[in-house]
């Protein structure tokens, strides 16, 4: 593989012969699991990640009918996502298209885990699973390595790449210069700007001084997580996993605000109107759960059950979708089951009558 910016050089690549065999010139080559290309772009590496991840997600999908949601989540975060993020500080700095291709892997997995319908907005699926975007996580990984470099906590061969502090280069600092502000290397080519050091120095210099000055890696990680990443709430994760598979999925779709109700179906052209067929008002999640006259009797049963769980509970859409932190876990399970029983009794989301389930 010949890496050069000069197109004419590519035509004049030297012939290399090893063991009487002329080496073939290739445009890309996989080294230690990372696909390097002669244009110094990462599209081929993203191709590689995408095809590998799609196969695993395909297996997850095949097994998903018999697996509880919590197991599917675990399989994604511990098996699939690490392969998608392998060596990411090296190759982050992707084009917009490649960034989107990677996000679509998480989206695809998220739909398998939650049972989200086609076209559910990505942010709604990520919020349901309490997952950061992959781009956000890659930034965090790059910054952790930069933190280690700044604090001389890397092997020697990486230490030589350590960027200099701005105060060592310029005697007078700017208004925003802190003790640990790094000197931004001046590079001309786009591929160099996207490479680890220039890209991560720029991210590092935008961190608040309190984070830059954190000396231990563990406390840098935990402070960064608190300020910039989603901290998954285990309680909510458990509550969201309750119930039978098919009712759990229908409940999750209501939470993601993208379900088989006319307010969603009209957006994707399945129905002409967003209105409820009975009440002629917009058939939103709250209309379905709290107001639709068609389901009055089922709702009465639901309200009676909630009353036995805790009489003073204020019943609103939020409570019926997410449960309540004022209740213990068993009571939340009872609440979720009562809502799912309501969903079942109303028969509103029958697979056969809803072409958007797959």
Reading phi first (left if > 0) and then psi (alpha if -120 to 50, else beta), residue 244 is in: beta
Which residue number, 309 or 315, has a Cβ lying nearer to Zn ion? 315
Which residue number, 184 or 266, has a Cβ lying nearer to Zn ion? 266
| Contact stretch for Zn ion (CB under 5 A) within 25-33, 64-72, 233-241, 284-292 | 284-292
Is residue 79 near Zn ion by the rule CB under 5 A?
no
Which residue number, 28 or 286, has a Cβ lying nearer to Zn ion? 286
How far is residue 94's CA from residue 327's CA, in Å, rounded to a whole number?
Answer: 45
DSSP string, 182-200: BP-----SHHHHTSHHHHH
CB atoms under 10 Å from CB of 220, counted, come to 22
Binder among 3, 23, 79, 279 for Zn ion (CB under 5 A): 279
Is the CB of residue 110 less than 8 Å from the CB of residue 123? no
Which residue number, 211 or 290, has a Cβ lying nearer to Zn ion? 290
Farthest CA pair distance, the chain: 86
Is residue 297 near Zn ion by the rule CB under 5 A?
no
Binder among 5, 278, 307, 353 for Zn ion (CB under 5 A): 278
Is residue 276 near Zn ion by the rule CB under 5 A?
yes
Tokens of 332: 């939340």
In whole angstroms, the minimum distance from the beta carbon of 121 to Zn ion comes to 24
Is the CB of residue 106 less than 8 Å from the CB of residue 134? yes
In whole angstroms, the minimum distance from the beta carbon of 283 to Zn ion comes to 6
| Contact stretch for Zn ion (CB under 5 A) within 35-43, 64-72, 166-174, 275-283 | 275-283
Is residue 292 near Zn ion by the rule CB under 5 A?
yes
Is residue 289 near Zn ion by the rule CB under 5 A?
no
Of 68, 118, 119, 106, nearest to 241 by C-alpha is: 68
Would you tell me which residues interact with Zn ion (CB under 5 A)?
276, 278-279, 292
């Amino acid at each position: 593989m010949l890496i050069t910016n000069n197109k004419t050089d590519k035509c004049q690549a030297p012939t290399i012969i090893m063991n009487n065999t002329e080496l073939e010139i290739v445009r890309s080559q996989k080294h230690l699991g990372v696909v390097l290309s002669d244009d110094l772009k990462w599209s081929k590496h993203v191709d590689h990640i995408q095809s590998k991840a799609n196969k695993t997600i395909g297996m997850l999908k095949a097994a998903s009918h018999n697996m509880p949601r919590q197991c599917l989540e675990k399989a994604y975060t511990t098996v699939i996502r690490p392969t998608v993020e392998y060596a990411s500080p090296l190759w982050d700095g992707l084009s917009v298209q490649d960034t989107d291709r990677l996000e679509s892997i998480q989206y695809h997995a998220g739909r398998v885990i939650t049972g989200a319908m086609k076209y559910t907005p990505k942010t709604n699926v990520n919020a349901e699973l309490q997952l950061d975007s992959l781009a956000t996580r890659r930034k965090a990984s790059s910054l952790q390595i930069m933190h280690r470099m700044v604090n001389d906590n890397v092997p020697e061969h990486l230490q030589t790449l350590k960027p200099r502090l701005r105060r060592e280069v310029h005697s007078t600092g700017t208004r925003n210069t802190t003790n640990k502000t790094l000197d931004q290397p001046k590079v001309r080519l786009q591929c160099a700007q996207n490479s680890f050091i220039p890209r991560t120095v720029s991210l590092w210099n935008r961190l608040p001084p309190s984070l830059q000055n954190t000396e231990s890696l563990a406390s840098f990680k935990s402070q960064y997580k608190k300020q910039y990443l989603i901290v998954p709430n285990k309680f909510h994760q458990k509550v969201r996993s309750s119930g039978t598979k098919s009712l759990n999925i229908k409940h999750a779709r209501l939470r993601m605000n993208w379900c088989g109700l006319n307010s969603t179906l009209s957006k994707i052209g399945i129905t002409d109107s967003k209105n409820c067929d009975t009440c002629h008002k917009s058939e939103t999640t709250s209309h379905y759960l709290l107001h639709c006259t068609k389901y009055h009797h089922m709702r009465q049963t639901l309200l009676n059950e909630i009353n036995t769980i805790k009489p003073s509970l204020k019943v609103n859409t939020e409570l019926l979708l997410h449960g309540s932190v004022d209740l213990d876990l068993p009571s939340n399970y009872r609440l979720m089951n009562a809502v799912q029983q309501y969903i079942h009794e109303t028969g509103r989301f029958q697979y056969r009558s809803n072409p958007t389930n797959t």
